[in-house]
Structures are given as structure tokens and as C-alpha cells.
Amino acid sequence: MTLKHVLSGATLTLAAALPAAAQDVTFDEPIRFVTPYPPGGSHSLHAGIITTAAEPHFGQSLISVIRAGGGGAVGATEVANSPADGTVLLFGDPTINSLRPQVEELAYGTDSFVPVARINYSPAIFVARSDAPFATMEEMVAYAEGNPGDLVYSSDNLNGWTYTIFELLKARTGAEMTGVEYGGGGPAIARLLGGETMAYAGDISVVGEHIASGDLVALCVTDTARIEALPDVLTCPEAGYDVVFQFWRGVLAPAGTPDEVVAALSDGFETLMADEGFLRLIGRIGSSIQFADHEAFAELLSAEIDAMGAVAELVGATQ
Amino acid sequence: MLADLASGFAALLNPMVIGFAFIGLLGGIIVGGLPGLTATMAVAVLAPFTFTMAPLVGLPFLLGVYKGAIYAGSIPAILINTPGTAAAAATAADGNAMARSGKARLALEISLYASVIADLIATMVLIAVAAPLATIAVSVGSAEFTLLYAIALTMVAAVSGDDMLKGLIATTAGILVAVVGLDPMSGAQRFTFGTTALLGGISLIPLLIGMFALSEILIRAEDALSTRPAATVKDMPKGTSISLGGLRRLMPTILRSTGIGTALGSLPGLGAEIACWVSYGVAKRMSKSPDRFGKGAPEGVAAAEAGNNAVCPAALIPMTVFGIPGDTITAVLLGAFMAQGLMPGPLMFSRDAETIYALFAFLIVSNVMLLFLGLWAVRHMQHIVSIPNALLYPSVAAFCFAGAYAVNNATFDIAIMLAGGLLGYLLRKTHLPIAPFVIGILLAPGLENALRQTLTVSRGSLSAFVDKPSALALLLVLLAILAVFTVRGLRPASSPPSQNQQRGTEK
């Protein structure tokens, strides 16, 4: 059972509950858009572009607030405890919104937020050094099985996205591999290029250049469809491994935010996502938009939360 | 390459480019000069505004802010013993001692010249050997990082003053403070007492603002109550400018620190905050009269400032060549590059050569601009020391609160700042040196991470530290340093312990 199956299987969890009456909602004060990670990552980059272009679509400015700490838990907790009136929003992702609350003891839960809008998502790409003793997914798993624990791979953060992808692969194949958490995509890829580790799974914005330059070999894409930029690279299911996990970026409000406010915010993001200037900037950072409004996002998220619960059990990481 | 660079200079001959770069530098100097407003914050806040500018306008603007802020952190460090940025903490000791003996202008000028010279040399290195240097930097593994952190930690000895034991106590306290927060590998919560506010650890900048600035205010307030006002403007000798000969005598120190800053800066993860202490420590050790350090040695100012400014261009090396940011600020810059459609990485030099070389050319030009802006600023700012304390320190206190809050927009950070202020006050009163404490905080997380990563990769075997020639070489350096200390420590003291260098004892 992949995440995608779960996503298509689970329906109508929240969708029926939300009658949209967004027209009359106006915002009297600037909206704080909280990024729970340090400046410089892809999250804060997206947040910078969103808040730069947002004002005409909300009738109010969005202020980018960077609230890093605890791998996202500090910012998320703060938003969860903020007034539920739509003036404080969290720029969330699967790590802080569906995985970690289920496997760690945090001061917020998966139900502390209501989904407002999904901005986009991207799969990870499994990569190996070009001089590694394997060049396909199958060879990599075979190597790991033949040399238990010798395959050392880079990952970003405990219970983060790249971390979970490898946990998923290990759980599916039973192969033993050794992961090292380097605290971020930058050092993780640096140590891979330096030869300290052999493999990694990361966003195309992190690994793409090094695949193009020939330093890294792409093994498979953690999605059910291939990606445009690398049309020859198999999806992981195509390669025979049921590892599908997309990293989404989305906006969430504190639980209890009135439905009409959520709907109005969702509408604001929908028109923003069609803004030409906004799309041009998003294109420049090599990203794209896969908008989902608050209803669609709520469905996707609740299915993902269930799936992550299952993953956590599979990996044996439940509290 | 020279032709590329020449056309790069040509691309800069545009009033828009120079104008925005000028605004950026000036803004950076203001931000860096105000305690609590950090270079990272300024660049992060301003980056989105550049997304819609042309690349050659927006990026020089941001680079200007970055350089201006890193340089200007030394200004309040010298004038009021309050580093504007964490990277200027090592400048405060000697710089402020100089300012107090009426040599504020000299100290400010040394800081400026050291900064500009170091930055210029490191920029040349960036342009000339970025690619090979980045290749070396990327091949540096966790074992080497562990040893580099350990070697940097020995700098504690150089800044501990006369009492090594007190230095080690302060270092250990700093390490304990740094341990608070999430365990980087297992995710376990350490000393958070169940509060979310401590999950991210003790925020470094608010703590440092408290320890340096607030404790300075407390000490000053106490001075004002117990002693007569010290020298007024009229009593102070007129600020003299640095002489050519004076600068020449400082050149060995500046060049050595530039080398240290460039080498450390090009390694992803070791930032200006660490480079300034290492440069300072090495300068003291190489000095013929190390006991002048901490009491107004011009070499101390030159070493710290050359060390931290050389990091700026050097940190751009792994960023431009591999797209790997060395620290938070280059991570923000990386984002700004990407938003301009420039994807830093192995292919950027062939694909966007024109823009890249124009930016390199700008880095050189910006040094000339910084020099003139700085000289102008120094002329006026040396007078800050003559502002009556009753006016100056309350304003600084207001900035302490504003700055501590602004770092993370967190009220809790104000509490950290206040606690830091009390702690700093207690340390000064008990003559425990602050510098080792700060070094402990700065180095402990990096050391812990690198050590645990090394042991994970080697699966618990310590052989990782001797297997790789580069790691073995560093290990031998570390052992040699420790051996020298041991020998020196066992030798009976030849001179009676001189006065403690920490402020608070000097009246």
C-alpha cells in the first residue's frame, strides 16, 4: 500500500463539512506567514516569494515571519497556540504536520491545524555517487543486502523527509543501511559529493545540478509519475520498490479558525497562484505550483496523516 | 578568466548597480552597527525585495548589506564593548581597551583596514582558485571537522587570561548551555523542562547581547554610582589616525588571519564567528608580547577583524561552486541567486559566466567603496565614546531589548537576553572570562554533530581519525598543541600573574 493508494482511497473525510461563504471576509490586520525553518532553505525561499506577491490577493499584506527551532516544532507550536482568526498562518510540510506529531512527543498534534491551501509538492530522487558500486535501485538494494550496514547514506534530519524515505525503503526491502543525519540538505549533499557517504534522496533543487554534471547518478523518483526534468529516470514503483513520498508545501491555520475565514484565505491563495509575476518568480527558483484548495488539501492531508501513521508503525517508530 | 573579469567590471559601470550597492553597504553598516540586528536577518528581510530587480542590481545590493554588516559589527564592539554581531565578539576585548585609552579612531581604522585587506585577498582567492579549493573543501569529511572543532576549542587557552582553570570552567558552562534543545541525532529533548520555547535551544544572539551589552551597562551603572566620571572629551587625546608604518607592522597579523579566515570560511559550516576567535588566538600565540592582548593590542583588533571578514568571500566558494551554503547567510544568498534564475552549482561558471564574473568584479569594487564609506564613518563615529554615559547606555539598553526580540520575533528571547546580562555580570564580577564561555557555546554543537556523524559513518570505530591522511594530519596538529600546553603548564610561572584582563576589575 503506497501513500498514493491511500490518498486516492481515502475520500470525503472533511470535504463535506465546509460550506464556503468567503465573499464577506476581510482582514483588518496584516497576516503573519510563519516559516518554521531557518532562512535560506527552500521553505523560506517560497515564503519570500509568496509574501512578496500576496498583498493584492488578500487586500492585506502577508508578513513573512521566520520562526526556526526544533526542526520546525517551535514555529508550528507557536502557530497552533495563536488566535484562530486567520491572522497567523503556518507554512507547513509533511514532516511537521503529519509525521513528527505521530512519532515524537510535541506540544501540538496533527489536529492542531486546519488546512488552508497546498502550494505545491515534489518527489525526492534517490541518487548515488557515480563511483559507487551500484548504479540502479536494484543494485543498490542488492549491495545493501550483501554488505549489511556498509551502505552509508546522507540524510537531513531525524524524522525529516529524506530520512523517512530511506526508512521506508529499508522497511520495504529489509536491507540494512546506515544513515547519517547532517542537519540539512547542504551538508548532506556535501558529504555525499566528498565521498563520506554513498547515497542520498533529495529534492531536484538539491541534487539536479549534480546529476547533470555527472557526479551523481539518479536511481529513481519517489512518485507515481516520472518528472519532466529527468524523463529517463524511473519512478520507484517502476523500479520495483514501493517507495512513494511527496514533499508538499502548504498553508495551515490554527484549529478552530472559522470556515469562512479558511475559505477566504484559500481563495486568496488560489488567485495568487495564478498571478503571472508570482509564477515567474516561482519558475526562477526551479519550482512549480500544484495548487489544492482548502477542501482538496484537507482530504489529501488526512489521508497522508493516516499513511504516515502506518509508515511509523512499519518502521517501528511509534511512541 | 581575466577577460571575463574585465567584462565583469564593464557591466558594473552602471549608476543603478553602484547606487544600490552603495545603499546596501550603508544599510549593512547601520544594521551591523546596532547590537542585535544581524547580517543574516538583514539579508533575509531584504532578499525578497531583490527578486524583482535585475540580477546585477539585486545581488550586489545584498552582497553589500552582507559585507557592510560583517564589517560594522566591530564598531560598537570597539566603542562601547558591545559586539554588533557575534563575529565581532573577539574584537571587543582589545578594541574597547584601545578606545578607553583614547585611541578609538585608531582602533576603528585598524578594524577597517584589516577588514578591507582581508576581504580583498580572500576575494582574489575566490576568483582564482574557487573550483579547486571547493573540491578540497567538499572532500573534508566528518572526522576532519571533528578535529578542526577540537583544535579551535584549544583557542580557549589563548583567551582564558591568567587563570586557565577559570577559563575551563567558563568553557564547560558554555558547552552546557549549548547542549540545551533537541538532540541532533536522536531527537531527544535535553534540558528543555518540557517547554517548547527551549526546544530550539538557547538562542545564541539574544544570549550574547545580554552577556556583552547588558552586562556592560550594569557594570557602567555601578561605576557611575561608585566612582567619579572618568575622562571627558576634553581630557581625551585627539584621536590619531593610523600611520603607514603602523599598518605595515600589522600586516603579518592581517595576512595570517586572512589565511585562517579563508580556509575556515571555505569549509561549509564554519562561519565568521569561529574564524574570528581562531585568528585572535593564533595571533596571541604568535605574538612576542602576548600579555598585551586583551589590554588594547592593535594586533588583537586586526587579527579578529581580518579573520571574520575573510570568511565572507570564502563562504561564497562552496556556495558558487557546489551550491552548498556554508552558513545561514550564504543559504539566504543562495536563495536570492536562485530567485534570479542563477542556479549555483558546478554548471554555473559555464552557463552564467557573465553574471558570475560581474559579481566577482563587484566584490572587488565593493571593498574600495567600503573603505571610503568606512573612513567617513570612522571620522564621525569615534565621537560616540564622548557621548555622556547617561545618554549612551540607556539607548544601548533599548537596542538590547529590540534586538533580542527581533532575532526570532520571540518574547522568550528577551528573557534569555536578561538572563545573559545577569550571567555576564556575574562572570565579570567573579573574574571568570567571558570569551571561553562564548567559544564553548559556538563550538560545542558543531563538535558534537561532527563527532557523532564520524562515529555513525565508521560504525563506532575510532579508526576514522587515523585512516584518512588528512584526518591523521589534523590529529597530529591537535596532539602537538596539547603537548605544548602541557609542557608550558608544567613549567613554573616565570612572571607574577598580571592583572586580570576582564572588564570590571580595571578601576
Residues of chain A positioned with their CB less than 8 A from the CB of B47? 48
* One-letter amino acid for residue A152 of the chain: V
Residues of chain A positioned with their CB less than 8 A from the CB of B332? 39-40, 44
Q: Which residue has the higher pLDDT, B176 or B35?
A: B176
Residues of chain A positioned with their CB less than 8 A from the CB of B459? 149, 178
Give the pLDDT confidence of B266-293 residue by residue, as tens digits: 887 777 888 888 999 899 888 888 888 8
- Local structure of residue B400 (DSSP, 8 states): H
Q: What is the ipTM of this complex?
A: 0.78
CA distance linking residue B114 with residue B94, whole number of Å: 14
CA distance linking residue B49 with residue A64, whole number of Å: 12
When mean pLDDT is compared across A60-69, B63-72, B291-300, B448-457, the lowest value belongs to: A60-69
- Mean pLDDT taken over chain A: 86
Q: Which residue has the higher pLDDT, B116 or B287?
A: B116
Largest distance between two CA atoms of chain B: 67
Measured between CA atoms, how close is A16 to chain B, in angstroms? 35
What's the pLDDT at A318?
Answer: 43
What's the pLDDT at B506?
Answer: 38
Contact status of B206 with chain A (Cβ, < 8 Å) = no
Residue with cell 552549482: B345
- Mean pLDDT taken over chain B: 85
If you average pLDDT over residues A23-29, what whole number do you get? 77
CA distance linking residue B21 with residue B15, whole number of Å: 10
From the list B48, B139, B328, the residue facing A52 with the nearest CB is B48
Contact status of B269 with chain A (Cβ, < 8 Å) = yes
**Angle at B235 (CA atoms; ends B232, B240), nearest 5 degrees:** 110
Count CA atoms closer than 13 A to A186's CA, side-chain side: 24
For residue A2, the SS3 value is coil
Give the pLDDT confidence of B393-403 residue by residue, as tens digits: 888 888 889 88
When mean pLDDT is compared across A198-212, B12-26, B28-42, B63-77, the lowest value belongs to: B28-42
Cell of residue B163, nine digits: 587563570
Question: What would the DSSP string read from start to end of B220-265?
Answer: HHHHHHHS-----GGGSPPPPPPPHHHHHHHHHHHHHHHHHHHHHH
Give the pLDDT confidence of B210-250 residue by residue, as tens digits: 998 899 889 888 877 665 545 444 445 556 778 888 889 99
A180, B199: Cβ pair inside 8 Å?
A: no
What is the CB neighbour count within 10 angstroms for residue B307? 37
Measured between CA atoms, how close is B142 to chain A, in angstroms? 8
Residues of chain B positioned with their CB less than 8 A from the CB of A284? 51, 338-341
CA distance linking residue A91 with residue A75, whole number of Å: 9
Cell of residue A179, nine digits: 544513515
Q: What is the torsion angle, in degrees rounded to the nearest 10, for the CA atoms of residue A233, residue A234, residue A235 and residue A236?
A: -110
What's the pLDDT at B494?
Answer: 52
If you average pLDDT over residues A50-59, what whole number do you get? 91
Give the pLDDT confidence of A151-201 residue by residue, as tens digits: 999 998 888 888 989 998 998 899 999 999 887 777 888 889 989 999 999
Cell of residue B210, nine digits: 545580554
What is the CB neighbour count within 10 angstroms for residue A48? 28
A41, B331: Cβ pair inside 8 Å?
A: yes
Cell of residue B248, nine digits: 605595515
- Rg for chain B, CA atoms, rounded: 22
CB B97 within 8 A of CB B149: no
CA distance linking residue B171 with residue B440, whole number of Å: 5
A48, B335: Cβ pair inside 8 Å?
A: yes
Smallest CA–CA distance from B409 into chain A, residue? A67
Residue in B436, B492, B460 with CA at minimum distance from that of residue B93:
B436
Contact status of B197 with chain A (Cβ, < 8 Å) = yes
Cell of residue B447, nine digits: 563538535
Residue in B362, B288, B244, B273 with CA at minimum distance from that of residue B84:
B273
Cell of residue B380, nine digits: 564621525
Indicate whether B422 pLDDT > 70. yes
Contact status of B313 with chain A (Cβ, < 8 Å) = no
pTM assigned to the model: 0.82
From the list B40, B51, B457, the residue facing A39 with the nearest CB is B40
What percentage of chain B reaches a pLDDT higher than 90? Answer: 30
Residues of chain B positioned with their CB less than 8 A from the CB of A67? 408-410
